[in-house]
Amino acid sequence: ASGADLFEQEAAPFSLQAIAEGIVQCRRCPIGCNGTRAVMGEGPQTADLMIVGEQPGDTEERENRPFIGPAGQLLDRALGEAGVDRTAAYVTNAVKHFKFAPRGKRRLHQAPTAGEIDMCRWWLDNERALVKPKVVLALGASSARGLLGRTPAIGRERGRALYLPDGTRVWLTAHPSYLLRLDGESREREQGRFAEDLAGLAQLLA
């Protein structure tokens, strides 16, 4: 079944609170059934900017807030340097539960499949319909798939005008966790491109 089929009988949630309650109960995909708690987006419902990540990480699941672990700290710093105020943005994820593989006491991040992202898309679409941002910042390919319904090539499509069917602008860049996995010259280069993309975002919002 595609994501939309699984929600066929559902009425669209009428509030962010209804989505927060709905995702906690959601068992439509294997990640939703793994016993972790769903992490809701946060930020003002009136935000012009919506920031979309992939899925909550270990820290986010424990603290029940999006983007507060190492990737979130990198993101906050880079947004700040670009002059974009994170607290004015609505921050959420394409997938609401944390997918991981247990390794002793640790939980190692696992990427959601395209099918899992597509199933969670109904929640993301409804969240976006309630926030009505002017611009959506998509962090990485999973985020972009959740928004666009296809997996784009970041290298080719970053820094370009992408639009959702309702006209909302999507601005695509790398995921901060990707930057954290690099080192040396490639880390510097990719961080530079990330900073350029966020500077472009700041212009869109100006």
Q: List interacting residues with ligand URA (CB under 6 A).
A: 53-57, 60, 66-67, 69, 71-72, 93, 177
Compare residues 5 and 63 and give the one whose CB is closer to ligand URA: 63
CB of residue 106 to ligand URA, shortest distance in Å: 16
Q: Closest-CB residue for ligand URA?
A: 53
Compare residues 56 and 152 and give the one whose CB is closer to ligand URA: 56
CB of residue 56 to ligand URA, shortest distance in Å: 5
Compare residues 69 and 133 and give the one whose CB is closer to ligand URA: 69
Compare residues 126 and 142 and give the one whose CB is closer to ligand URA: 142
CB of residue 57 to ligand URA, shortest distance in Å: 4
Compare residues 57 and 152 and give the one whose CB is closer to ligand URA: 57
CB of residue 181 to ligand URA, shortest distance in Å: 12
**How far apart, in whole angstroms, are the C-alpha atoms of residue 185 and residue 197?**
18
- Alpha-helix residue ranges (DSSP H) falling in 100-183: 114-131, 140-148, 154-157, 176-181
Classify residue 62 as exposed, middle or buried by CB count within 10 Å of its CB (0-12, 13-18, 19+): middle
End-to-end alpha carbon distance in the chain? 41
Nearest to 55 by CA among 30, 77, 87: 30
CB of residue 138 to ligand URA, shortest distance in Å: 11
SS3 175: coil
- Cβ partners under 8 Å of residue 64, min gap 6: 37, 39, 40
Angle at 50 between CA 110 and CA 36, to 5 degrees: 35
Nearest to 168 by CA among 199, 122, 131: 131
CB of residue 173 to ligand URA, shortest distance in Å: 12
Compare residues 138 and 205 and give the one whose CB is closer to ligand URA: 138
Q: Which amino acid is at 129?
A: A
